[in-house]
Amino acid sequence: MQINKETLRDYLSRVFSSDIAVTDIEKLGEGFHAEGFLIKARDGKGQEKRYILKTLRGEGFGHDYPSDRANVVIRSLLDYNLLPNHIKVIDAGSIQNDCKLLSVGKPEDFFIIMEEGKGIEYWKDLDEIRNRGRLLGSDEERIKILADYLAGIHSEKYVGNNRESLYKRVVRDFVGHGELTMGVIDTFPDKLDFVSNKELVEIVKKMVEWWDKIKGKHQRLTVVHGDFYPGNIWFNDGKLIIFDRSRFRYGDPADDTTCLIMNFINYSVMSYGEFKDPFKKLTESFFAQYFKKREDNEMFKVSPLFFAFRALVCIHPVFYSKEWMRNHNFNEKRIELADENKRKIINFMRNILNEDEFNLKGISSYLKD
């Protein structure tokens, strides 16, 4: 960390609204999680002040991204002073590109402001494909655009010194993260007609086995989107627009490819009760174009873990509800069979987790009990 007396003086003067003279900066040491500095200063009345400035290390322990470290800092700011006898936090802040220190202030909550995106989400394409029962040339063109996009971002490998721990974190999070497997299951109602809690626990157990099986494949770490499903994919006059990059800056390419393809599989099952054309052809066209642009001989060897999570999302009774199906103009007969079709997706999860690797030609068999 690059700090100096002048930078600290400016920062502390803003925090305390008074003149502060920094007299010394002493590095106290480093631990597994952080490094600390003792800041000695005098206020405008000549009184000596001593403060501790702490920064978090960026390797492992779930601190790999700046956003992870921001989460810890902000949590400390909001929580430390609520605990009796705890050392008090005076402020929290960020280190800017020019090494200046910027205060976070005393936030109650947080927000982001983004540009407005215009276009039509890719769900509309899938609705039209279902209704006509065949692919048009425009559908083939768009699936090539999506394959090229993912192959392009996945071509940027992560080569940092913490690659091994970061990949382990990615695979671990797919099982235990609050937005991923266990967190999603925890949002299911207590009782569902199409799956038992015991079955869900067995699925998680199998996913833990996959975590152990693939967590060492750190050479696979690349740039990813993290939630590449049709709702985050829009087209505006042929231009691809992407929304809501999620969770990971770097991850396994199979995260993105399985996210998209699992939605094709699920959409086919919801539409026809089986995996068949035109969604079968759409899936095959995607992978043909993807592997044309980017070689990945291990993609299908790690895919079962990522497919299983995406399948759990597809059976979610809120995310893909009967009301959701009505909004996408499924006929009532298909809607009445929603639970039966979710059962087929559960079969898919259980079967694929028992495979050594994903078989593109075996999708229909995975759906069978």
Q: Which pLDDT value is given to residue 102?
A: 87
Q: Which pLDDT value is given to residue 243?
A: 93
Q: Which pLDDT value is given to residue 194?
A: 93
- Distance (Å) of CA 139 to CA 113, 151, 238, 286, 287: 32, 18, 11, 11, 14
Q: Which pLDDT value is given to residue 45?
A: 86
d(CA 107, CA 339): 44
- Decide if 5-103 and 120-366 have a common fold: no
Residue 339 CB coordination number (10 Å):
14
With CA atoms as reference, report the closest residue to 51 among 97, 83, 16, 85.
16
Q: Which pLDDT value is given to residue 62?
A: 79
d(CA 11, CA 39): 12
Q: Which CATH superfamily is domain 120-366 in?
A: Aminoglycoside phosphotransferase (APH), C-terminal lobe (3.90.1200.10)
Which CATH number is 5-103 given?
3.30.200
Q: Which pLDDT value is given to residue 1?
A: 58
Q: Which residues of the chain have pLDDT under 50?
A: none
Entry pTM: 0.89
pLDDT digits (tens, 9 = 90+) for 110-156: 777 788 889 999 999 999 999 999 999 999 999 999 999 999 999 99
The domain limits of the chain are 5-103, 120-366
